[in-house]
Amino acid sequence: MTTMSEIGPVGGMPAEQLVRAAGLVREGRMVSLAATRYPGMPLFPGHPPFQVLNYRTPRGIRVTGAEPWGPINDAGLGYMAEYVMATSHSGAHMDALAHMTVDDDMHWYGGGTADEHLTDFGPTYGDASHLPPFFTRGVLLDAPGYRGIDCLPRGAAIDAAECDAICAAQGVEVRPWDVVVIRTGYMGLWPDVEAMAAHKTPGPDISAARWLLERGAVATGTDTETYEVQPAPDPGPTGNPQPVHTLLLIENGIYLMESLDLEELARQRIYEFLFVALPVKIRGATGSMVDPVAVI
């Protein structure tokens, strides 16, 4: 049985919020927020590569004399099946609450610790099997659009003051239960590895993270592989390389998404929408690939 401590604040979302979010649909259009995944795709360097490998093919069935249905059929019926070997953090994805740990006890949100809850088959507490569905109001903050450029420069921080200014310029506000997606323009360079490397990695800083917490967002995402600005401009006294992940994901159970494709939303200047994402529930996984949609 899943407990509130394994879901985070989104577990308390009232039914009325879903009804209000559904009311945002006016035109019946969907905009995908994910790019296609493929072998050799750009990934955060700490993750294994994405692979799709054939397991069964019509030719292989015939050559090996395999009999998946029993004796060879006169219809010549064949099929294809494959292994997808990849980290759950491939392309557009959502971090489970057990994704990151901090301090000597290696703890994560809700009281999970490596000594008590980490097995050879992944965490048993706060893993991807507890990821909830998301059906709520979404808000886009378009930082390069606000600055009048195509993509933020390498290591550019988006702070709380800029979040306020973007909201004012776009005529939107962030409210409790929202999912806030923040564009840096990075996915506009996809999949040009050299161009992307030249812009690694803009994003929200710790003041923007506090800003999101104060406004009651339950999840947030960006179009980069690290969500937050890297290197961190304010790593604190411990030299934490990812203070935003620590504050939002580990300390407050706010879900983080990375590598979202926000280019079409920005092009159409869609700043408010119904956000829908259905993570895949895999026991022991520390995240889920997602293909979210903005419904307008």
What is the domain partition of the chain in residue ranges? Answer: 4-36+89-295, 51-85
From CA 121, how far away is CA 277, in angstroms rounded?
25
The pTM assigned to this predicted structure is: 0.95
From CA 110, how far away is CA 211, in angstroms rounded?
22
**Helical (H) or strand (E) element with 276:** strand 272-277
Q: Give CA separation, 220 vs 9, 10, 115, in Å.
A: 13, 12, 29
Nearest CA to 1 among 135, 133, 134, 129? 129
From CA 90, how far away is CA 293, in angstroms rounded?
17
pLDDT at 89: 97
Contact 8, 255 (CB under 8 A): yes
pLDDT at 72: 72
pLDDT at 1: 56
pLDDT at 225: 96
pLDDT at 7: 94
Q: Which fold has domain 4-36+89-295?
A: Glucose Oxidase; domain 1 (3.50.30)
pLDDT at 6: 83
Blockwise average pLDDT, block size 10, the chain, 296 residues: 80 97 98 97 93 95 88 85 96 98 96 96 97 98 98 98 98 98 98 95 98 98 98 93 98 98 98 98 98 98
Structure tokens at 25: 């649909």
